[in-house]
Structure 1
């Protein structure tokens, strides 16, 4: 972090940015300002004068999207600090991700800022024994660490309401909260499915362009992920539409009214939800410059996740919600098309075992550690 004059940590609200900031504040001399606090915002009425007095400290600005005009001031302060010999580790900016926030910060702080996307808690942080609780409750700290399932479910419902009714309008878009919730819920019902903008538009009574706008908004806010298809030169007709995932599995379950592990396991979405949880875990932990895709042909060859590493190495990963998984004909066809160096099948238990020559069944925590390492 000290390599950069300003580091922006972006993610959905309550993902743990404030906790991380306070841990950093305890480790070094710093000043923490919460820009949702009227008292802290008042301290920045003359921001250039105030911030210049703290050039020897790390200044942490939480919920920075509340004062977007601050970026222009930060540029001058950063440059003045650089001339004084303080070249890095000057500011830590925390905020909910939005296209407008990133645009304003990149325009004002070009060459002076580095972005880090914060995801929820993972099995590498909580251990393999937390795999199922993380899947059922999602990765938001207050949800997965709640004392019981009911408290976790209530927290997630309040998060959804607050995000739709307060946070998203603060970021600019003027979309009725009920409309956006219906759209979000529809995506949860079709978790891990191919995007069909026309069908979604008919269900909501809007056109495809509006659906794309809603989807882009949720993607930009780090609430939904689009996984693009791999366009390999295999001579076969390939699927062109992306797959859509609500990124936090706990939110999937709350949007669908599933408030306990038993409710999730008894619902048809369980397999797709598990797939989404596994993919999100792996994609947030994979090294930089890796490229993720899925592979599917019109003939039925399919692999849930393909990760291309910078050196040319390719991993093929299939996700199964079964202790005794079977490899489909489509998987073998896809493997023959892509020639991956490593093939894994993620299963909902710890340990690993060979399933076929060159194919290993493995628990999520073990594969996540292998990928991250």
Structure 2
């Protein structure tokens, strides 16, 4: 079984908090990780367990043998108030590890219930480092330390990882047909079990159509009006659909960076799907050949980089924020990573060659502000190439 980068953080959280929420999309490995840390385990996906929990939440919590993991807590949000009452009268750190495939703390009725009593930990699909058996290595820390050691990775294997994504079960799939069947099942199950339950969706067909319209837009500026027009629904419906996808960890909206004085900025977020395997499925890409020939190759590779950055930000040694950057005169940088007053500006190229022109917007950004900015271009070549003392091109094997 592959080790997860979040495991040490999860163990520490259980030492210092009575409740820890392990949240992430379905099938990312929450249950597997929780089972390694808890002897006692109850699953709210089980109908009889869920009925019991909803019938008398206080009694249900009292009768559980602690410490305990309560899996899929969003199935019985009534338990949150009971957890609060129990903790307020009998507070012991590590008593409750709860998991959720929907972000229950973003729901209006539960937002303030556990304030001050809970630590949230985000679990993502497997990172490239986790797949390689290096869960302790953090690429965000390495970027800021300028530790650019790389182990060569065959181009084909990188492309296969883009197509497969990071869900643990998807790594076991060997043929395009197996991938198609698994991802089709994942999407339909997600719609039936999470999106429908979370929002009481009345028009599943429109929501499914929305998913297909959204996938080709990964890496693009969010435009709700265009989405509404293409899907054939109101803008308010699109906002509801986007909220559902965010709460169930299927998309990420990367906010704009606009701290430079004297520039006019695009202030819309950029949209990214949270797994390139899901994105590839929606785009009909199931082989290296179809990826290389696809109009969406660059977008999928940029989505891969975004997901890798987010996974490593979740356990970086310092608080880190991720932004995108674009001015009204179309000076664009794919990603801005910020730690305190230090910034790494990142561009993503799907080609195997790189030159100084690929750094032009980064260099302009370096000149425009007073912060410490280091520039990185990720590309499909094999070597670490220094352009100057503040700019470097890194091969995609850096992620491994």
Determine the C-alpha separation between the residues in 2 that align with 1:362 and 1:278: 12
Q: Number of matched residues?
A: 358
- Name the counterpart of 1:318: 347
Q: When the two structures are superposed, what TM-score results if normalisation uses the length of structure 1?
A: 0.87
Shift of 1:305: 0.5
Q: When the two structures are superposed, what TM-score results if normalisation uses the length of structure 2?
A: 0.82
Shift of 1:39: 4.5
Q: Is the 1:71–1:104 Cα contact (8 Å) retained in structure 2? A: no
Determine the C-alpha separation between the residues in 2 that align with 1:211 and 1:43: 35
SS in 1 for 2:124: coil
Shift of 1:179: 1.2
Cα deviations across residues 129-188 of structure 1 (Å, max 9, x unaligned)? 564333111111111232333322321111111111332111233142221222222221
Determine the C-alpha separation between the residues in 2 that align with 1:296 and 1:110: 36
Q: How does 1:240-279 map to 2 (within 5 A)?
A: 240-279=267-306
Greater CA deviation, 116-125 or 347-356?
Answer: 347-356
- Name the counterpart of 1:347: 379
Cα gap change, 1:365/1:122 in structure 2, threshold over 3 Å: closer, same or farther? farther
Cα gap change, 1:178/1:187 in structure 2, threshold over 3 Å: closer, same or farther? same
Shift of 1:50: 5.2
Structure possessing the higher relative contact order (Cα contacts under 8 Å, 6 or more residues apart):
2
Shift of 1:33: 0.9
Cα deviations across residues 236-266 of structure 1 (Å, max 9, x unaligned)? 2211221111121111111112222221221
2:337 to 307, 326, 339: 307
2:129 to 124, 130, 142: 124
Q: Is the 2:22–2:99 Cα contact (8 Å) retained in structure 1? A: yes
Are 1:36 and 2:81 an aligned pair? Answer: no
Are 1:17 and 2:36 an aligned pair? Answer: no
Q: Is the 1:62–1:95 Cα contact (8 Å) retained in structure 2? A: yes
- Name the counterpart of 1:61: 70
Determine the C-alpha separation between the residues in 2 that align with 1:53 and 1:31: 12
Shift of 1:41: 3.7
1:236 to 215, 239, 263: 263
Q: How does 1:153-172 map to 2 (within 5 A)?
A: 153-172=180-199
Determine the C-alpha separation between the residues in 1 that align with 2:286 and 2:201: 30
Cα gap change, 1:209/1:91 in structure 2, threshold over 3 Å: closer, same or farther? same
Q: Is the 2:250–2:273 Cα contact (8 Å) retained in structure 1? A: yes
Determine the C-alpha separation between the residues in 2 that align with 1:224 and 1:175: 21
Gaps of 5+ in 1: none
Shift of 1:102: 4.6
Q: How does 1:1-373 map to 2 (within 5 A)?
A: 1-25=14-38, 30-41=39-50, 44=53, 47-49=57-59, 51-54=61-64, 57-82=66-91, 87-98=92-103, 102-127=107-132, 129=153, 131-286=158-313, 287=316, 289-310=319-340, 312-326=341-355, 327-328=357-358, 329-338=360-369, 340-348=372-380, 351-364=383-396, 366=398
Cα gap change, 1:101/1:340 in structure 2, threshold over 3 Å: closer, same or farther? closer
Determine the C-alpha separation between the residues in 1 that align with 2:52 and 2:227: 47
Root-mean-square deviation (CA), in Å? 2.4
Shift of 1:42: 6.0
